[in-house]
Amino acid sequence: MTNGVETLRKVTYREAVREAIREAMQKDTRVFLMGEDVGHYGGCFAVSKGLLEEFGPERIRDTPLSESGFVGAGIGAALGGMRPIVEIMTVNFSLLAADQIINNAAVYLHMSGGLFNVPLVIRSATGGGRQVGAQHSRSLEGWFAHIPGIKVLSPATVEDARGMLWTALEDPDPVLIFENSGLYNMEGMLPAGAGAVDIDRARVRREGKDITLISYSASLFKSLDAAEILSREGIEAEVIDLRSLRPLDEKTFLDSVAKTHRALVVDEGWRTGSLAAEISARIMEGAFYELDAPVERLCSAEVPMPYAKHLEEAALPQVDKIVDLARKMVKADG
């Protein structure tokens, strides 16, 4: 604080994540980072650049190209009292470690009768929009949000990217953090004294009265842009940032729906069996009589992500699509 004014500084999302890792490693000698190319190369997305020189190879560990192997090693380290941060290059490759995550990390506490916690944090890039083809562009965080025994986070802002990690490391159970790869270059203002943040509450990022836009990660900013366009037409959209996908903070979005009486869920995952479907069901269960229109969902096209830029853009939720659908919902009974 300077003369009662909080000092802000501009950082990229990438820098915010790097700062979070550095701070955690400075605070606790049990914390270490492991994954493919996190050391000498500085990370596939340059998140860990410079950390090897600062902390050395014992705490910044390059691993073989074996997700099942190094996630398993992370589970073992967590059981042994360490606080590992395991980086899986992209969520697409998390499928190679699904057995370790779902059948081991998520169930040890239950299977041991409450004797063994697994304080493991797994970070992974997710999302499309970068022209890297179908095998590198999936949004599978909703799959993991289906699994009891783990927490699933999706920070959108630089403050959450900076602050969620330490809170996750303090959690006694596995936490998966999905960072949309399209956000790494995004700049935002970070308070000088930024620290840990909660990991179980959604946030209202924009107040409104006519419709609730529910989203997370990169789609949050598309929803905010759409809300700005809609406001010029006299439609005030409330924008909810889910932040945590498991557990879902349903109270925040149900309270919003009770105020606006309409809900549109924007989800980069596929529509069938999606996180958007779960949220829609919860609104129908918890706020049905508050609705003035059916809940709508805007998801990615149900195709493998195209490589061609114009097709990829067509496959993903975009601002104009959000605006068009929200406008129709509000004006349908206007």
Q: Spell out the per-residue pLDDT of the chain, length 334, in tens.
A: 445 556 889 999 999 999 999 999 999 999 999 999 999 999 999 999 999 999 999 999 999 999 999 999 999 999 999 999 999 999 999 999 999 999 999 999 999 999 999 999 999 999 998 888 988 999 999 999 999 999 999 999 999 999 999 999 999 999 999 999 999 999 999 987 788 899 999 999 999 999 999 999 999 999 999 999 999 999 999 999 999 999 999 999 999 999 999 999 999 999 999 999 999 999 999 999 999 999 999 999 999 999 999 999 999 999 999 999 999 999 876 5
Protein fold of 203-331: Rossmann fold (3.40.50)
Tell me what pLDDT residue 5 has.
Answer: 53
List, by residue number, the catalytic residues. Answer: 67, 136
**CATH number for region 8-191:** 3.40.50.970
User: Model confidence over 163-213: pLDDT tens digits?
Assistant: 999 999 999 999 999 999 999 999 999 987 788 899 999 999 999 999 999
The answer to whether the 8-191 and 203-331 domains have the same CATH topology is yes
Tell me what pLDDT residue 1 has.
Answer: 47
Q: Is 35 exposed, middle or buried (0-12, 13-18, 19+ CB in 10 A)?
A: buried
Tell me what pLDDT residue 334 has.
Answer: 55
- b/e per residue 71-108 (b: at least 16 CB within 10 A): bbbbbebbbeebbbbbbbbbbbbbeebbebbbebbbbb
Tell me what pLDDT residue 83 has.
Answer: 98
Cα–Cα distance for residue pair 119/141, rounded to 1 Å: 19
Structural domain boundaries of the chain?
8-191, 203-331
Cα–Cα distance for residue pair 223/205, rounded to 1 Å: 10
Task: Show Cβ contacts of residue 265 under 8 Å, excluding neighbours closer than 6 positions.
Answer: 214, 215, 276, 279, 280, 295, 296, 297, 298
Tell me what pLDDT residue 4 has.
Answer: 52
Tell me what pLDDT residue 7 has.
Answer: 87
Tell me what pLDDT residue 251 has.
Answer: 97
Strands (E), 67-218: 83-90, 121-126, 151-153, 175-180, 187-191, 203-206, 211-215
